[in-house]
Amino acid sequence: MPYQSVAAVYKLVKAPIYSHCFSQDKSLLAVTCKNDCLVYRFDNGPAPQLVATLANHDKTVTAVDISIHGRILTCSQDRNAYVWEPLSDGTYKPTLVLLRINRAATCVSWAPNGYKFAVGSSARIIAVCYYEQENNWWVSKHIKKPIKSTVQCLSWHANGVLLASGGTDGFMRIFSGFIKGLDNKESVAGSPWGEKFPFGSLIREFYHGSYIEDVQWRSSVEKVGYVSHEGALTVVDYANNHAKVNAPDGLPFNALLWINDHEILCAGFSNHPVLFAESGANQWQFAKDIDKVIASASSPIASGNEDLDESEDANGNGTFGISALRKFKQLDLKGKVSTDVKETAHENTITQLLPYAEANGQVSKVSACGLDGKVVIYNI
């Protein structure tokens, strides 16, 4: 078969991976694992090698991101974030970020230029952090109002100023993350989203209702896509146009990724990604499943038993004990719903989608991590 939807599967850890990130040249992979962040190198042979364990956090690491300069950013439920500067001997030098929050940090995102980043938290705060030369540490400015609950996801616009966020209060909000001395006003000149962008101002908010699990900008068409816990993808733009489409199987989504200006990949509790396509002005629809279990002649438990009975009749009843053992062995479904279902590459919920290969605004390969401790590369 020329087209394979799964390009590679890496079973890395025996714990859920909440977040992962490849370096710019795809030679390094950072994944969260319990209280640590693990860094793998990919250049020698097909199997990734563990090269570093970033172990400063003392509670679950919730998110990781790598900047264009190779700095690894981690945040954790211990309310801290660290920036890990790569050293020439392959180790990393941690710098604590002064987040000033009293709840868990939930998500991180480097700005496209790699000089600042945003951290979302359960303290209803987005901390926008940048490096201060005089003090030699990363300081943060807070965006507080009008966030009412945990911030679950963040996304920077390509201009590095507009910051989209979503959370458990059911709002998708767009803030300005403009830092004086770091950003210049030309990057947002002529933006359709507004005229002035002082730091922390609320540019736009969209009410959705359920938990917003992931949000992502598509800067080239000035649109924002977000997925929510009831299993829906919503796309909005600066004119407040609003398009919503439901997951084909009704299960919640955790992640989305723009494939190009007119296609979005979503994934979540159904263990495989789903592609949606724009079908008209402000209309989106389901396009296809990727790596879906083919339920051809699916045999639920009941029909599986019938097959078993038939084969037993054929064998006769001579060796009663053996056939009883065999019967129980075959009845054991090992946690599956039916006996002959092909496994998806991810065996549990997918938690994050990131572009792996991209050319001319078209993503051709996607990396995904999940609660099964795997990172999977999909062909689109």
Partner 1 sequence: MSDWRRIDIDAFDPESGRLTKQDVQPPHASQITLQEITPKISQLRSLASSGDSKSAVALAVSDPPYSGDENTKAEYFKAVLETLTQVRQADIAGVVSGLTSEQQDTLVKYLYKGMSIPEGQKQGGILLAWFERVTQVAGVRPVSHFINDRNTV
Rule CB under 8 A: which residues touch partner 1?
A: 124, 148-149, 169-170, 207, 209-211, 228-231, 246-247, 249-252
Q: Give the nearest distance from C-beta 368 to partner 1 in angstroms.
A: 21
Residues with Cβ within 8 Å of 130's Cβ and at least 6 positions away in sequence, in order, are 115, 116, 138, 139, 179, 182
Q: Do 153 and 213 contact (CB within 8 A), yes or no?
A: yes
Residues with Cβ within 8 Å of 34's Cβ and at least 6 positions away in sequence, in order, are 15, 60, 61
Distance CA 302, CA 128 (A): 56
Identity of the residue, 92 or 211, whose beta carbon is nearer to partner 1 in the bound complex: 211
Q: Give the nearest distance from C-beta 33 to partner 1 in angstroms.
A: 28
Identity of the residue, 54 or 232, whose beta carbon is nearer to partner 1 in the bound complex: 232
Q: Give the nearest distance from C-beta 82 to partner 1 in angstroms.
A: 26
Identity of the residue, 20 or 208, whose beta carbon is nearer to partner 1 in the bound complex: 208
Q: Do 102 and 79 contact (CB within 8 A), yes or no?
A: yes
Distance CA 53, CA 327 (A): 46
Q: Give the nearest distance from C-beta 147 to partner 1 in angstroms.
A: 9
Distance CA 58, CA 269 (A): 28
Q: Give the nearest distance from C-beta 302 to partner 1 in angstroms.
A: 16
Identity of the residue, 77 or 367, whose beta carbon is nearer to partner 1 in the bound complex: 77
Identity of the residue, 131 or 269, whose beta carbon is nearer to partner 1 in the bound complex: 269
Q: Do 42 and 86 contact (CB within 8 A), yes or no?
A: no
Identity of the residue, 33 or 123, whose beta carbon is nearer to partner 1 in the bound complex: 123
Q: Give the nearest distance from C-beta 202 to partner 1 in angstroms.
A: 14
Residues with Cβ within 8 Å of 100's Cβ and at least 6 positions away in sequence, in order, are 127, 140, 142
Distance CA 146, CA 25 (A): 38
Identity of the residue, 165 or 228, whose beta carbon is nearer to partner 1 in the bound complex: 228
Q: Give the nearest distance from C-beta 247 to partner 1 in angstroms.
A: 7
C-alpha torsion angle, residues 309, 310, 313, 317 (rounded to 10): -30
Identity of the residue, 3 or 207, whose beta carbon is nearer to partner 1 in the bound complex: 207
C-alpha torsion angle, residues 197, 200, 205, 207 (rounded to 10): 170
Q: Give the nearest distance from C-beta 298 to partner 1 in angstroms.
A: 15
Q: Do 160 and 113 contact (CB within 8 A), yes or no?
A: yes
DSSP string computed for 77-95: TTS-EEEEEEPTTS-EEEE
Q: What is the largest CA-CA distance in the chain?
A: 86
Q: Give the nearest distance from C-beta 211 to partner 1 in angstroms.
A: 7
Identity of the residue, 149 or 362, whose beta carbon is nearer to partner 1 in the bound complex: 149
Q: Do 177 and 128 contact (CB within 8 A), yes or no?
A: yes
Q: Tell me the C-alpha to C-alpha distance, in Å, between residue 254 and each of 8, 22, 227, 239.
A: 21, 19, 7, 26
Residue owning tokens 């649109």: 223
Identity of the residue, 150 or 344, whose beta carbon is nearer to partner 1 in the bound complex: 150
Q: Give the nearest distance from C-beta 162 to partner 1 in angstroms.
A: 23
